[in-house]
Structure 1
Amino acid sequence: MNNWFKRNGIHFAIAAIFLVICFIYLTPAFQGKTLGQNDVTRAQSTQKEINDYKAKDTTILWTNQIYGGMPTYQVWAPYKANLTSHIVNAINLTFPAPVGTVLLFLLGTYFLFIVLKVNPWLAAAGAVAFTFSTYNIILLVAGHSNQAFAIAFFGPILAGIILTLRGRHLLGFSVTALFLAMEIRANHVQMTYYLMLALLIMLGIELYHAIKNKTLNTFIKSVGYIAAAVLLAVAVNASILWSTADYGNETIRGKSNLTRQTSEPNNGLAKDYAYEWSQGVGECITFLIPNAYGGGAQGSVDPDSHVIKALGASGADPNQVTEISARYLPLYWGNKPFTEGPFYFGAVICLLFVWGLMIVKNRIKWWLLGAVVLTMLLSFGRNWPYLSDLFFNYFPLYNKFRAVESILAVAGFCFPILAVLAVNEAIISEDKESLFKKLKIAFYITGGITLIVAVVPSLLLSFSVSEQTAGVISQISQALKADGQAITSGLRADRESVAQADAVRSLIFIAIAFGLGWAFLKKKINPTMLSLGILALVLVDFWMIDKRYLNTDSFTPKQSNQAPEPREVDQFIMKDKDPDFRVFDVTQSPKGDGFTPFFYKSFGGYSAARLKRWEELVDNQLSKAVNQDVLDMMNVKYVISADPKTQNLGMQVNQTACGHAWFVKSIKYADNADQEMQAISSFSPKDEAIVDKQYKNVIDEKQFAGTDPNGKIELTSYSPDHMIYQSGSTSAQVAVFSEVYYNKGWKMLIDGVEKPYFRADYLLRAAQIPVGNHKIEFIFHPASYYTGENISLAGSILLVLALGGAAYTENKKKTPAAKPAAKKA
């Protein structure tokens, strides 16, 4: 055991350094503070009902808190049978957020570089470079924790695949299965998909060399182990994947139900929506110069900036001027709607990456280059649609994802790998003179670009002012009686200034890195000093830039990161003890309402996994004008609005809300979804139900003779996933329930016997109720979750056995065989 610690002492030392880096950089997290993440705060509203039931030691898989009702799979679900759930919980209990995620980045990527046979200090430099790439840090600040968590496993997954391809099959299989299972558990399918695209390029290159070197059988055997690892990782996450697949088809990423009067695509997301955040082709210069395109969406707050001086010339209050500049005149000038910050891969890393393209002999170089080129082209989206459209139209699942720029997370992963391999090649190569010549070429390329931007930025960058920003400037100049042309010129000057400043900064780091390379290749320093120098340089480079986005001010006390204070109207509505009414807040966007659900069940909500039918209902019945009939059928009891003149909030009680359930007088059949949508544009939801003709066989029209004047149906017990009603009538009736229809797990019981139900009014549940008094139950018990959990348990057991077997086998290989005892004379 002592020998094992001695052999691995350097790794423990580096892990300790990583922890120290996290402690210093993320000190507020260790003091009990949390990141004041806007997306996280709004997402907490979606979990209101879930958390209320968790407090009662009850798990619910359906919530009515947002969008009228939806499964909780993409909000929160326990997945207790999944081994990785317990690993995630252990990480969260051990380290405060986001320390656990940052450590996973560092240790996972370090493990990859060790597998690539890089010396530990150089491996640490590569781990720091990938971890602190600005996109990863910005994700943490923005609250996209699942996405960052998924990206953190890129390194160890690649390490497992490399081990497998090298012939260490059991170890590689186990490592790949474990970390791919963790990747899938992060539940960010988009990042996993992008990684798989890149890995397919790698396997294609390996196949080519296997055929070329006549080692195809060996390659096929390794691929078999990789495929088995993928299957095991999928089995471990069966409940997550099955539930997501079932639900995904019904969400805005699924097939459109409408064929007429809709801009929705037949399947997947609308292209404009998917391409909304597309990387500008020229914007890739931010890999090298972070503020070349202005940085984030905030404007200048420097009192000496040109734009603030132009605004100040109007005589306006200095505080007002600063606020106007910061909020309405962004330094960012690319064509994304807005951005929190650039994709910065590091000036040092860019220099070494270009060097690596010229000197690295390992064929992994071609995979890294291919992955970078592919991901860059796909990230351009609408700005270079030729390849993006091909993928969007023909590649499975690709059109389910939005914000295509996020695929650059893969490029951000590839850059430091090739950069570190370049330094490693310099260490092991004997031809130092040739290496130095190529280092000079890399220096001329990267240093030349930064020098041009520093001296003559307009040669490469336009610093254009968009039409939208020009319109804002016009409004500001009129309001302040300021010189609009001076403001525009000042804004362009500020954008140019920050680009020049960062270009000079990047040039300095490139020059220092070049100096380190020169010193090593001229035998002035040894490999350890070179590696430590690269580590220090990379850490300082990223530390300075990342502090622009994640700093002490990003953290807030935990208590201030909770639900917002209820308004006066909220306090009034919260006095209503009805367990299942809804509120429609006109002052909030229904598709992005992260406020109202904090207090009661909202017609709107905040989630990217909302149901397609709900989305279509909003687009067609509420976007241009509010259809009162739709509010009635959804049991919207209160409507909040603002006075157009004073903006004072008011509240109206909706006297015509239909309630929890009701018997209708008649049924009107529709041939398809288009007719359904047209029919509910103007109808009496209390009297008639609009039903698709596909459900005719569920309704016995001979038994249904219209409403019984004395018939009634009422909600007697409420739980989001188990609702009980009591009915009484002298004839068979058709009841409509103000609950969202979803046929992947809901079942209806009448007096304990399962009976069919159907969809009515485009979005709601309905059922035929027999004559007499009956107990009606709706129970949510999805097989995708419960059967999936059993499969997850079996997969988790197999994964533990595989890891144990791999550890035993590896230990046995390293244990020296005992020497035979000497024979007695």
Structure 2
Amino acid sequence: MNFKKLIPHIIAVVIFIILNMVIYWPLFMENKTLNQNDVIQGRSANQEINEFREKTGEEALWTNSMFSGMPAYLINVQWSGELLKYIPRSIEKIIPTPASHTFTAMIAFYILLLVFKVNPYLAIGGGLAYGLNSFFLISVEAGHIWKVAAISWMPAVLAGIILAFKKNYLWAFILTALTMALEIRSNHLQITYYLLLVVLVFGLFQLISAIKNKTLPDFAKAMAVLSVAVILGLGANLGKVWTAYEYGQYSIRGEAVLSSNTESSGGLDRSYAFAWSNGIWEPFTFLIPNFYGGASQEEISMDSELAKGLQSRGAGSGQVRSFVKNVPTYWGDQPFTSGPYYMGAVVVFLFILGIIFVKGPVKWWLVSASVLGIVLSWGKNFEVFNYFMFDYFPGYNKFRAVSMTVAIPFLCMPLLGFLAIKELASANWSAVKKQFLTVLGVAAGLCLLFVVGSFMMGFRGTVDAQLGDQAWLVELIREQRASMFRTDAFRSFFFIIAAGGILYFWKENKIKESLAVGLIVTIIVIDLVPVSKRYLNDENFVRQNRGELIAKTEADKSILQDDGHYRVLNLNNPFNEARTSYYHSSIGGYHGAKMRRYQDLIENHLQNEMAQLVEKLRSGNTDLSDFGVINMLNTKYIKFGDQAGQVITNRNANGNAWFVGDVKEVSSPDAAIAALGNLDTGKEAVINTNKFDLTQNQISTGSIKLTSYKPNELVYNSNNNSEGLAVFSEIYYPKGWNAYIDGKEAKILQVNYVLRALEIPSGNHEISFEFQPDAYFVGNKVMMLCSIIIFLILIGGLAYQIRKSL
């Protein structure tokens, strides 16, 4: 084996590790962790599942910690058949999470460029450009760990696909199967879907090329190899995909249940999906980070004109210091942003260079995919295309926050940019010199054009209205935005000139190629790291461990004196926080895929009851008997603060289960949810008889008590004098729950729009609910089989390659 060939790869790994240490220094050297909001929320949502796993060694599969109960598939489930998890875990042994995802992204893009036969040392620059851009690192800071994991594997999947069309079928099969399995394992189907769009565009151009060049047999062979590889990668995640698909049909991403929900057509509501849409000009943050003022709130220097203006108005130094820490500098179209998506001025310049210098289907694929990603990110700001995509393109309406489609250009534009340098290296300089200088002039000139144009821009943001009639303050903020805009425009101009100068002097034989490559890589790092560090810096790291971040409050301690099974309503933004779920079963939560029916319940009843509840509590009245929906969810405690005295015990909660004396029959979901508004849920139930049949005539009185609680198994004891209908304060879900009365399976009914019910014979009975979804148990076995096959072909491929090189 020629070990000299390994030297560039070893150097690449070392450089990637060093840069990760720079970015995540407190993580490596100070034993700190990232204070990530979404991670904290996720840890809260996971707590019941984790505790059950640690106590029993089993998987919960269902949790009552959020939204009165939901499947745990999209929260935290471990799969014994998921053998491929040991690959990322091996990386994490050396490089801690989330730095491991940044390292993976760098390696994956490096491999992609090697597949295109880019100089390995230049490919290092590509890996750094892909892993250090602010889109990636802002996502890390926000705690979108599954998202960044999926983004990190995208280039490697593409590398495998490219190999198939280069007729390297063995490694195309191995790399595609392995990385597709790891991509899907990342559990962020939205990013994987965007990768599929990139692949579809690639396939289209390859098909056109095959028809044009009469190479359809080669195209068919590549597609056959890739199809088997993708199926194998999918099989290694079958349980995950199956459960996600199964649950998706009943979530807010599935079909609407109520006829009044006209926006939903088998997916998310359009207004919800497009809430985070880029403005038409927002992609210029790829080139100029502060094009739209950066994050929603930025810290400004005390030496800034804004600070001086506040001081001149009589504000004290303390007031000024407090204000400049959170200035509303963002003036774009999104309701909130953690920071701009900065690709890098050098990378954008190289991309423009690639449009001119790279030829053939690869160029048109990368340009088309980049444009597609940008147009999709515009969302509601480009209705004519994006509403069509949402309404008619398969699967597209399952995903929200369309601004995330910038993941496509962030993959494709750097790739075309580094292919441009490869083409420039072999080009006849005298023949292309003029084109090169033209591109340099256009890219750098664009930055200067924005500087000139900024004097005619208003820098007005929707947030300005919140400042009331303080026109002078609004004007100071707008001047600050303009200053930030111009500073970063000049910054990008100088980086483009510097990168262009390096390439120019290289081709003029003034500097050696090795030096030019080193300088380009260096300038990319110098360009990207300071911008990314604006949003991921030492202040984002905390020394305390995550357990301490979710400390038990006095209110929690007060509630936890009750060791029964009940639910808690946190009146402080309950449907957008998961902290309550860390210690309690909550009727609220934090998740992007609530059950459709539960969302309907929130919108049609819970929000109204909460508003009425607040007014009643303010008047000092704690009689909650008229809050039927809150009571039927067994909401025993109302929490409105963190102090022990800020908890109210709801003595009117219906409990875990109860017999009803009257059943109202309706013929549609609309009628069922409407009836809830006038229902005494402790004594009455409503059932849609078009879906569920009642076989009993008698209405029972009696008692029913919960005797054993596990997330995936509930046991009750009933004592009733005649046949009757028992209602359970548990969410009805048709896929996986089985009910047994004295060991004999019983049919689960859906009542009160969201709850379970059983027809119970007279007498004493043991009743149990068990969650046994086929999608988990069958899917797990298939995952193990496919994972073993992937490992075997990987080992075989490596052995073959080593033997071949000896």
Same fold (TM over 0.5): yes
Pick aligned residue for 1:570 from 550, 556, 577: 556
* Local SS of the residue matching 2:419: helix
Q: In structure 2, give the amino acid aligned to 1:687.
A: K
User: 1:130 matched to which residue of 2?
Assistant: 130
User: 2:695 matched to which residue of 1?
Assistant: 700
TM-score, normalising length: structure 1: 0.93
Separation in structure 2 between the aligned mates of residue 761 and residue 563 of structure 1, nearest angstrom:
37
User: 1:307 matched to which residue of 2?
Assistant: 306
User: 1:599 matched to which residue of 2?
Assistant: 583
The answer to whether the Cα contact below 8 Å between 2:107 and 2:127 also exists between their aligned partners in 1 is yes
User: 2:623 matched to which residue of 1?
Assistant: none
Displacement of 1:530:
1.6
Separation in structure 1 between the aligned mates of residue 464 and residue 538 of structure 2, nearest angstrom:
34
Q: What are the equivalent positions in structure 2 for 1:206-285 lying under 5 Å apart? A: 206-260=206-260, 262=261, 265-285=264-284
Pick aligned residue for 1:537 from 512, 523, 531: 523
Q: Pick which of 114-123 and 589-598 moved more.
A: 589-598
User: 1:522 matched to which residue of 2?
Assistant: 508
User: 1:321 matched to which residue of 2?
Assistant: 320
In the alignment, structure 1 residue 453 sits paired with structure 2 residue 450: yes
The answer to whether the Cα contact below 8 Å between 1:614 and 1:763 also exists between their aligned partners in 2 is yes
User: 2:466 matched to which residue of 1?
Assistant: 472
The answer to whether the Cα contact below 8 Å between 2:277 and 2:380 also exists between their aligned partners in 1 is yes
Pick aligned residue for 1:744 from 726, 735, 739: 735
* Local SS of the residue matching 2:575: coil
Displacement of 1:746:
0.5
Q: Pick which of 142-151 and 619-628 moved more.
A: 619-628
Deviations 1:607-666 (A, max 9, x none): 1121111111010002234371001100000112379xxx99632221111111111112
User: 1:290 matched to which residue of 2?
Assistant: 289
In the alignment, structure 1 residue 759 sits paired with structure 2 residue 750: yes
Gaps of 5+ in 1: 478-483, 816-825
User: 1:95 matched to which residue of 2?
Assistant: 95
| CA separation of 1:567 and 1:69: change in aligned 2, threshold 3 A | same
User: 1:480 matched to which residue of 2?
Assistant: none
User: 1:481 matched to which residue of 2?
Assistant: none
* Local SS of the residue matching 2:130: helix
Pick aligned residue for 1:772 from 744, 759, 763: 763
Separation in structure 2 between the aligned mates of residue 783 and residue 185 of structure 1, nearest angstrom:
19
* Local SS of the residue matching 1:549: coil
Separation in structure 1 between the aligned mates of residue 665 and residue 549 of structure 2, nearest angstrom:
44
* Local SS of the residue matching 2:576: coil
User: 2:646 matched to which residue of 1?
Assistant: 650
Deviations 1:259-317 (A, max 9, x none): 13x46524211111111111111122211111111111114432233333343344344
* Local SS of the residue matching 1:738: strand
The answer to whether the Cα contact below 8 Å between 2:70 and 2:595 also exists between their aligned partners in 1 is yes
Say how many residue pairs are matched. Answer: 789
Deviations 1:763-786 (A, max 9, x none): 111001112211111001110011
Separation in structure 2 between the aligned mates of residue 33 and residue 299 of structure 1, nearest angstrom:
24
User: 1:404 matched to which residue of 2?
Assistant: 402
* Local SS of the residue matching 2:290: coil
The answer to whether the Cα contact below 8 Å between 2:357 and 2:423 also exists between their aligned partners in 1 is yes
Q: In structure 1, give the amino acid aligned to 2:760.
A: I
Separation in structure 2 between the aligned mates of residue 368 and residue 339 of structure 1, nearest angstrom:
27
In the alignment, structure 1 residue 585 sits paired with structure 2 residue 570: yes
User: 2:543 matched to which residue of 1?
Assistant: 557
Displacement of 1:326:
3.8
Displacement of 1:64:
0.4
Q: What are the equivalent positions in structure 2 for 1:195-214 lying under 5 Å apart? A: 195-214=195-214
Separation in structure 2 between the aligned mates of residue 179 and residue 9 of structure 1, nearest angstrom:
24
Displacement of 1:563:
4.0
Deviations 1:60-88 (A, max 9, x none): 11110111001111110001202222323
User: 2:639 matched to which residue of 1?
Assistant: 640
Separation in structure 1 between the aligned mates of residue 263 and residue 251 of structure 2, nearest angstrom:
12
User: 2:434 matched to which residue of 1?
Assistant: 437
* Local SS of the residue matching 1:47: helix
Displacement of 1:7:
2.4
User: 1:349 matched to which residue of 2?
Assistant: 347
The answer to whether the Cα contact below 8 Å between 2:609 and 2:627 also exists between their aligned partners in 1 is no
User: 1:618 matched to which residue of 2?
Assistant: 602
What percent identity do the matched residue pairs reach? 35
User: 2:121 matched to which residue of 1?
Assistant: 121
Q: In structure 1, give the amino acid aligned to 2:596.
A: K
The answer to whether the Cα contact below 8 Å between 1:34 and 1:561 also exists between their aligned partners in 2 is no
The answer to whether the Cα contact below 8 Å between 2:276 and 2:402 also exists between their aligned partners in 1 is yes
Displacement of 1:254:
1.0
Separation in structure 2 between the aligned mates of residue 299 and residue 241 of structure 1, nearest angstrom:
40
* Local SS of the residue matching 1:80: coil
The answer to whether the Cα contact below 8 Å between 1:29 and 1:98 also exists between their aligned partners in 2 is no
Displacement of 1:668:
1.1
* Local SS of the residue matching 1:364: helix
The answer to whether the Cα contact below 8 Å between 1:465 and 1:488 also exists between their aligned partners in 2 is no
The answer to whether the Cα contact below 8 Å between 1:584 and 1:636 also exists between their aligned partners in 2 is yes
User: 1:730 matched to which residue of 2?
Assistant: 721
Separation in structure 1 between the aligned mates of residue 98 and residue 504 of structure 2, nearest angstrom:
38
Deviations 1:770-821 (A, max 9, x none): 1221111100111001100011111112212222333344345444xxxxxx
The answer to whether the Cα contact below 8 Å between 1:274 and 1:402 also exists between their aligned partners in 2 is yes
The answer to whether the Cα contact below 8 Å between 2:109 and 2:155 also exists between their aligned partners in 1 is yes
The answer to whether the Cα contact below 8 Å between 1:352 and 1:442 also exists between their aligned partners in 2 is no
Separation in structure 1 between the aligned mates of residue 545 and residue 574 of structure 2, nearest angstrom:
27
The answer to whether the Cα contact below 8 Å between 2:606 and 2:630 also exists between their aligned partners in 1 is no
User: 1:789 matched to which residue of 2?
Assistant: 780
User: 2:533 matched to which residue of 1?
Assistant: 547
| CA separation of 1:561 and 1:776: change in aligned 2, threshold 3 A | closer
Q: Pick which of 415-424 and 299-308 moved more.
A: 299-308
Pick aligned residue for 1:367 from 365, 368, 374: 365
Q: What are the equivalent positions in structure 2 for 1:28-39 lying under 5 Å apart? A: 28-30=26-28, 31-39=30-38
The answer to whether the Cα contact below 8 Å between 1:726 and 1:774 also exists between their aligned partners in 2 is yes
| CA separation of 1:69 and 1:358: change in aligned 2, threshold 3 A | same
Separation in structure 1 between the aligned mates of residue 137 and residue 166 of structure 2, nearest angstrom:
33
Separation in structure 2 between the aligned mates of residue 306 and residue 24 of structure 1, nearest angstrom:
32
* Local SS of the residue matching 1:292: helix
Displacement of 1:454:
3.2
Displacement of 1:598:
2.2
Separation in structure 2 between the aligned mates of residue 216 and residue 809 of structure 1, nearest angstrom:
29
Q: Pick which of 21-30 and 763-772 moved more.
A: 21-30
| CA separation of 1:217 and 1:485: change in aligned 2, threshold 3 A | same
Q: Pick which of 492-501 and 310-319 moved more.
A: 310-319
Separation in structure 1 between the aligned mates of residue 132 and residue 104 of structure 2, nearest angstrom:
12
Q: In structure 2, give the amino acid aligned to 1:605.
A: G
User: 1:512 matched to which residue of 2?
Assistant: 498
Q: In structure 2, give the amino acid aligned to 1:760.
A: V
The answer to whether the Cα contact below 8 Å between 2:569 and 2:638 also exists between their aligned partners in 1 is yes
| CA separation of 1:309 and 1:148: change in aligned 2, threshold 3 A | same
RMSD of equivalent CA atoms: 1.8
Q: In structure 1, give the amino acid aligned to 2:700.
A: T
Q: In structure 2, give the amino acid aligned to 1:706.
A: I
Separation in structure 2 between the aligned mates of residue 500 and residue 749 of structure 1, nearest angstrom:
70
User: 1:661 matched to which residue of 2?
Assistant: 657
Separation in structure 2 between the aligned mates of residue 300 and residue 695 of structure 1, nearest angstrom:
57
Separation in structure 1 between the aligned mates of residue 417 and residue 788 of structure 2, nearest angstrom:
39
Gaps of 5+ in 2: 611-625
User: 2:415 matched to which residue of 1?
Assistant: 417
The answer to whether the Cα contact below 8 Å between 2:332 and 2:461 also exists between their aligned partners in 1 is no
The answer to whether the Cα contact below 8 Å between 1:251 and 1:609 also exists between their aligned partners in 2 is yes
* Local SS of the residue matching 2:355: helix
